[in-house]
Structure 1
Amino acid sequence: MKNLYIMGAPGSGKTMVALGLAQKFQAEGYKVAYFKPVGAPCFSPDQYDADAVLLKETLQMAAPIADIVPFCAGSSYLSGNRRKEKLAAIEAAFQRVSADADLVIIDGAMFPFVMCSWEMDDISFARRFNAAAVVVIKLEDDFSFDRALFYNEHLQLKGIPIAGNIFNGVPRPLQAKTEGIFVPLLQEKGYPVAGVIPRRAEISSPTVAEYQAALGGEILVGQDRLHLLVEDIVIGAMTLDSALRYLRRSADKAVVLGGDRADLALAALETSTSVLILTGGLYPDVKVLARAEEKGVPVILVHYDTYTAVEKMHRVSRHLRPEDKNGIRITLENIEEYCNWQAVLEALKS
């Protein structure tokens, strides 16, 4: 039986698809292990890959985290000429993790091409670990679909079996286009589609805490409300006259604006707002903090300019934690309801 390699672009939800499939295959009676050969950079010895911790606990794996994620790659990994040593360590860790498993679900790196110079990219590992691929697609526009198609073509050229493509977290405005255009295009080219999973805020929207961690800001109000979900980011650059009409268009949003824009901050607090992000290191008027306290809206002060803060926020994606039982359950429901997991399983058996 082949193993299963989950690959895709950052923010596509690879780990959530891996988690859902792992739970489903486990429920079908298979012994499932999880492996991530190349994790995100770790900046301290006691820092662990959050995805690995989640899968380890959910699947009740006995393997240590150091085996589940044997290597963390930084963006300057070529500076150290230790390819053979690292590759040997990754292969040895895989043998230990997979020893008692019927199949291993392997989680891809940030991009499938990461560490291609050392032949330690996703496609090279898929061949090395006898794995079929599932490509997880995050749709933003037609170019993101082109990227997914490019991955499929490269997999085919390299002789890696494709168990399916899964469109994940598809927003409602793109649902019809996905089913009417993107899915048929993939199928016409001979690439299997295993599912179209609609966006669910419970597992796709980052929390205020995740944005705060990315920005490193100071929490002025709402320390106990960092669990709130953020479904949209709005930049407070409008005039006060048009502010309320504009701000009412988005629910559960983060409003990013200068700390000196007390008028806009107060207007935002009268709409569905999950957090105020105040930029430029400018402390707000006391009226803003008092109203935020009344409304239960966190206020975070950062020293970046608005453009930099928004750029950093756009890189944030949701990470489930082991204690989030509802989110973990939803990943399984998505696979059962929206995915042809049987076809994926059959591809692993062939």
Structure 2
Amino acid sequence: MKSLYIIGTVESGKTALCLGLALKFREEGYRVSYFKPVSIATGIAGMKDDDTELMRDVLDIKVPFEKMTLFTMGHNYLTRYEPENSEKYMADIKSAYNEISKDCDIVIIEGTTNPQAMLALGLDASTISRRLGAKMLMVSRVNDDFRMDELILNLQYMKKAEVDLLGTVFNFVPTPLLERTRNVYVPILEKTGFNIRGIVPERKELTAPTVREIYEVLGGEILEGESNLDLLVENFLVGAMTTDSALRYFRRSKNKAVITGGDRADIIHSALETSTSVLILTGNLYPDVRVLSKASEKSVPVILVPYDTYTTIEKLHGVSCKIKATDEEGKKQSKELVENYIEWKGILKELE
């Protein structure tokens, strides 16, 4: 039995890669399981980790959920967990891993959004990887040179930590950055001795959240368009400009969410004249009835929230695209991306 530890940063597409590889390996006849020892706190008490739920359903894993995800990382995790119990925590991880890996050929282990997370407890990615004997694959969504620096730092950290590193995947690369990735970023990593296991182009269906996912984070009241909550949102814009410049500003972005006050009918009308997926009205300010009528005509959902604009934007930082177990298209696309852009055969050979 072999294990593959997939780590990355925020919005790097770790789960989509885990899903795609698991489905592909299973298609090749391997028995595949999944483990996520450390999850991220959602801020909602009692809420289970979405990624673990997804993989448990898709792979039909019978192990109890509580054994698949044991610890929760948050800004104050040291209040809940005590460093002096670090060996006990690691023993719990090993015990759960042994149960999950029974009768399996490959276990895919998913990391958190920060490779150094829970280092104070000795439960960081490098330590868990070494203790479980897992090979590591680092996935990164490099959107600029600073993110490239971050990737290099993480790779060098893992190398010095003597992790069995298979290489890295550039995931969900925006089309304008594909050439830069191939001609600038890849040579830099290859020169420093790191393997490139794939360059995956951005797929909006897997990276852009839906209006529904935004509503689940913000809450509030849906004033219009409840039947159109599955629209994709590719951009977020704040409508705080003059009426004269609003239309020109909104035309620059498609499939967007526009955040503005309900009393800004001029801004709302301009947004509805362009490609808008949802209107988010702040401050509990109800819009004019003519605004709702136009939104209905354009099939654009309208969400009213009690927060001011700043607070709304802060909450939107927690929005991400999540593949559901019932999302057959999302599962299909995840596997296709692995087949077309990832050196999955090479990874599989390294695991054998």
Q: Same fold (TM over 0.5)?
A: yes
**Contact 1:127-1:160 at 8 Å conserved across structures:** yes
Which residue of 190, 210, 215 maps to 1:212?
A: 215
SS at match of 1:166: strand
Letter in 2 for 1:294: E
Q: Which moved more, 1:279-288 or 1:175-184?
A: 279-288
Aligned to 1:60: 60
Which residue of 181, 187, 197 maps to 1:194?
A: 197
1:217-236 C-alpha deviation (Å, 9 max, x unpaired): 22111222111110111111
Letter in 2 for 1:202: E
The Cα shift of 1:305 comes to 2.2
Q: TM-score with structure 2 length normalisation?
A: 0.95
Aligned to 1:228: 231
| Structure 2 Cα separation of the partners of residues 305 and 44 of structure 1 | 21
Letter in 2 for 1:17: L
| Structure 2 Cα separation of the partners of residues 190 and 295 of structure 1 | 53
| Structure 2 Cα separation of the partners of residues 150 and 2 of structure 1 | 27
Q: Which moved more, 1:143-152 or 1:60-69?
A: 60-69
The alignment's C-alpha RMSD in Å is 1.6
Which residue of 263, 279, 283 maps to 1:280?
A: 283
Aligned to 1:169: 172
SS at match of 2:287: coil
After TM superposition, list the pairs within 5 Å mapping 1:302-341 onto structure 2. Answer: 302-341=305-344
Q: Which moved more, 1:74-83 or 1:154-163?
A: 74-83
Q: TM-score with structure 1 length normalisation?
A: 0.95
SS at match of 1:139: coil
| Structure 2 Cα separation of the partners of residues 64 and 110 of structure 1 | 24
**Contact 1:259-1:279 at 8 Å conserved across structures:** yes
Pair 1:267-2:270 in alignment: yes
SS at match of 1:72: strand
Aligned to 1:21: 21
**Residue 56 and residue 200 in structure 1: after superposition, are their counterparts in 2 closer, same or farther (change >3 A)?**
same
Aligned to 1:126: 129
The Cα shift of 1:189 comes to 0.7
The Cα shift of 1:43 comes to 6.0
Aligned to 1:11: 11
| Structure 2 Cα separation of the partners of residues 246 and 60 of structure 1 | 47
Aligned to 1:299: 302
Aligned to 2:350: 347
**Contact 1:163-1:348 at 8 Å conserved across structures:** no
Q: Give aligned pairs, total.
A: 349
**Contact 2:86-2:122 at 8 Å conserved across structures:** no
Q: Unpaired runs of 5+ in structure 1?
A: none
| Structure 2 Cα separation of the partners of residues 155 and 46 of structure 1 | 33
Percent identity over the alignment is: 45
Q: Which moved more, 1:80-89 or 1:280-289?
A: 80-89
Q: Unpaired runs of 5+ in structure 2?
A: none
SS at match of 2:73: coil
The Cα shift of 1:247 comes to 1.1
The Cα shift of 1:348 comes to 2.0
Aligned to 1:289: 292
| Structure 1 Cα separation of the partners of residues 258 and 37 of structure 2 | 37
